[in-house]
Structure 1
């Protein structure tokens, strides 16, 4: 149990997760704090805060580590296809059978499926489980860039014909300004700022998390203020959580099965499993501000993303530990 706790904390389910829960509770109790009339300019802070996050994310992208993971193109192609094609297609299939028209919860579930993979948690879990670490770093990093273009395209296709369609070219431009250009600028300054950023990594992590918490607070407070959750019970939240848990289980099994079917070695199978089944809350919160400018709608859409984020950390950590133990047993018997 102690080992499992250490793995979960290392993967990211720590004080930040508790802060997320506290943020949602505060938004429920004091929704007026996040309104446009609030003395705290959440809209402006989070707008520039997103660029801040991705600038320093670019600085932390080490060209040497990325280059070391570049050669295994079949593995990279599989991970990107599972992240941006297999995952959304599975959610679309389920929605076609059980879904409701114009449901923001289904919209949130599909938005989750179209997001890029998370970076830190994927790399940590691949490392613990004995996977291909350079490939995990490469794919998780590239996924974040690719998602700037693919996620809006998926959402445009999903929303076509609905009242929530948006201008795709304008969305690309806004995401480029807020996300892509800061990442590229940071990456180009890696040699200059890389060591300093690594030295102050803890401080930057807390700033990043504070910005995400403000995005979550402003989105949920707007949704609560408009009564979007008044008819929802705890049973609804538990049911949604159970569905997100089932989704993670299906995706993890699917990713591992595809890697095995295509004849990848065990280390690469593990990499496909974790990189292909993870989704980024940071990207979801940052891009969602652009894709869903209505904060009321965004608060509801963000709910499946947050639940999946928490569950992927818990279940992923359990899987990583089990795979690590299996690797040890096989090493002893061989």
Structure 2
């Protein structure tokens, strides 16, 4: 049987070139890194657990991408540049074919963002992955949730609702025959963290958050920290053709866009006079950015459809309550 240290040596050590700011990575009790002058370290930890975030028999490549993308999305929401990551991997047994696919996908995404694995742990138990990512951001330039002001525009990147629809397909195998089903499953597992957009928004966005619990819930966090309200025009919500074709009903697709968790798109606010600059970022990075509303004084989220008020009672995604947990 392969030992813990054998697994680490075989699958995790020496897979990446060393960043110049990494003094010591795997092989000692702690990693050592150097922080450049004039920068702060942004740190985030997230776990993905079998039965909560993915089915135990899910493709290990999909699990690896989802786990790392969710952490990278946190860095994106702060405007940070990815630097280092630690991985704690809990496995029910040693399955080297599973590990090989997991690691190939993990390092492919890490290398895409110049993110170096600098340490971690492996242990036996129910399948779970915990990651701690660290990124660099110039002092005083980190994006936060607390800066939104009345009159600011509310924006989102990409399209919304596909992750929830993909989860529907995963949990209900009969839906695999539906048009666009596989596209939505891929959207659920293989999100693209908006790291470059987060960095580009430094100095432009007044507040930002990544959409992990649903637009309604996560925008609510901005409103709470910024002590303001919001008005959203649902007709402006970015809905993909795949989602519209899969759900076949406009109101249902729009509600998915408002409540879908694990999207890992960015929601941010910016002053009205920054709108042109925001749209220039979308064009230069070839990522859609849509203005969906504006910040108000009301202290709550008001929904309307091109001026017609809506009374939709919607909440976000909660892993402790949502009955759609995988």
TM-score clears 0.5:
no
Structure in which a larger fraction of residues adopt strand: 2
| TM-score, scaled relative to structure 2 | 0.27
Structure in which a larger fraction of residues adopt helix: 1
| TM-score, scaled relative to structure 1 | 0.27
Q: Which has the higher contact order (CA 8 A, sep 6+)?
A: 1
